[in-house]
Amino acid sequence: MKSKKFKLIKKIALLSIIAYSLNSCASIKEYEKVNINDPDMELSQRQICRFETNFQLYREGSSGANGGKVGGGCGCN
Partner 1 sequence: MKKVILLLLLFFCGLNFSQDIKKDKLYKKRVLESVEIDFLSSYYSQEGSNASVTGGIGNEDLEDFNPTIVVSIPLNDDDVISIDLGISTYTSASSSNGNPFDAGVNANKTTSPWYASSGASKVDTWKNLNIDYSHSSEDRNTILNANFSSATEWDYESFGFGVGITKLYNNKNTSVSLSTKVYLDKWVPIYPKELDAYVDADGDTSSGYFNDKTIYDQEGVSSNKWSPIKGFGLINDKSRNTFSLSFLFSQILTKNAQFAFFIDVIKQQGWLANPLQRVYFSDINNFYIGNPSSIPLYTSTLNNDVFHLADDIERLPSNRLKIPIGLRFNYYLNENLALRTYYRHYFDDWGINSHTFNLELPIKILDDFTFYPSYRFYTQSNADYFEPYEKLLSSSQYYTSDYDLSKFRSNQLGFGLKYVDIFTKLKVWDLGLKSVNINYSKYKRNSDFQSYIFSVGFKFVVN
Q: Which residues bind partner 1 (CB under 8 A)?
A: 8, 11-12, 15, 19, 22-23, 25-30, 32-36, 38-52, 55-56, 58-67, 70-77
Rounded least distance, CB 38 to partner 1, Å: 6
Q: How far is the CB of 2 from partner 1 (least distance, A)?
A: 14
Which phi and psi angles does 12 have, rounded to 5°? -65, -40
Where are any strands of DSSP class E within 1-77? none
For partner 1, the closer of residues 6 and 11 by Cβ is 11
Rg (CA), the chain: 18
Cβ proximity to partner 1: between 6 and 50 the closer is 50
Give the span between the Cα atoms of 14 and 30, in whole angstroms. Answer: 30
